[in-house]
Chain A
Amino acid sequence: MQAYSKPVRQQWACGYELAPENGLVEAWSGLGYKGDPPTVCPGYTTTLPETIEIARAWRWWDKGSLDSFCDREPINPALKIGIELFAGAVASFERWAMTPADKGGGNS
């Protein structure tokens, strides 16, 4: 893995770094993402413990076993919302991945 300098990470809105003094940041986005521009590098947000928890829960939810994932305890509604958002993002990515590159997709 290539290590980038602190100024470069700041410019890319790395979650571990303070925003640069000039406030000019541009977080990377791609792979068909069409939502609002990210304000924090996805490398940070996608590895946060709660994001990983939602991704793991989604796997269990997809198999109809969310209850087991939650040890049969009451399920936090926030987790369900997270799963719904995650499932939407997965479907959106899959659509993009299947769309030919000449039509704006990622299938080349």
Chain B
Amino acid sequence: MIKPPSIQSDYTLVYSGDPSLALPTGEREREKALEVARETGQWAALIIDRESPTLFHVRPIFGRTLDWMISEIRRRQMSGAESAVLALKLGLRSVEGFGDHRVDFEHVEGHQIATDKIIDALYAIDGVGRDIVQELGGVVLARALDGLRPKS
């Protein structure tokens, strides 16, 4: 089940290149459709009939975990790509519709974090693995760093 965007609770991300999505062909139209789906959580109109996209359920990162993530990025002088991976590992709760893959966790300095197993499985997807991790991780990271994202 797709969980709508949330400040406090888990929410669902869908990769923009998921083959279950039927997006408009024009670039502006495509970006707008994705923007609306991400903001409203209404993906149904973009999903091909009788298909299901892979759902990535994630939690918002804030408080002690956010401080730790920022410190880790600085301590390890992480690149943008590495930062996105760390954010995804910290945010990811579960994956739905990705074969038999599941998310395992470990605890690092008191923070629950997904193990590399799921990240490696995503990276192993031919041609788009890196895109998936970077897009989803980028969203989790931006939401964590931006706090409220006013749209008025």
Contacts and interface: CB of A to CB of B under 8 A. Distances in A.
B6 interface: yes
Nearest to A83: B7
A84 B112 CA distance: 30
A38 interface: yes
Contacts, number: 61
B72 interface: no
A16 interface: yes
A78 B5 contact: no
B7 A78 contact: yes
Interface of A is mostly: loop
Interface in B43-75: 60, 62-64
Q: How large is the interface on B (under 10, 10 to 19, 20 to 34, 35 or more residues)?
A: 20 to 34
Interface string B85-123: 000000000000000000000000000000000000000
B5 A50 contact: yes
A40 interface: yes
15 contacts: A15-B39, A15-B151, A35-B152, A36-B152, A39-B151, A49-B6, A50-B6, A53-B8, A57-B8, A74-B64, A76-B62, A76-B63, A77-B62, A78-B60, A78-B148
Interface of A: 15-18, 35-36, 38-40, 45, 47-50, 53-54, 57, 70, 73-79, 81-82
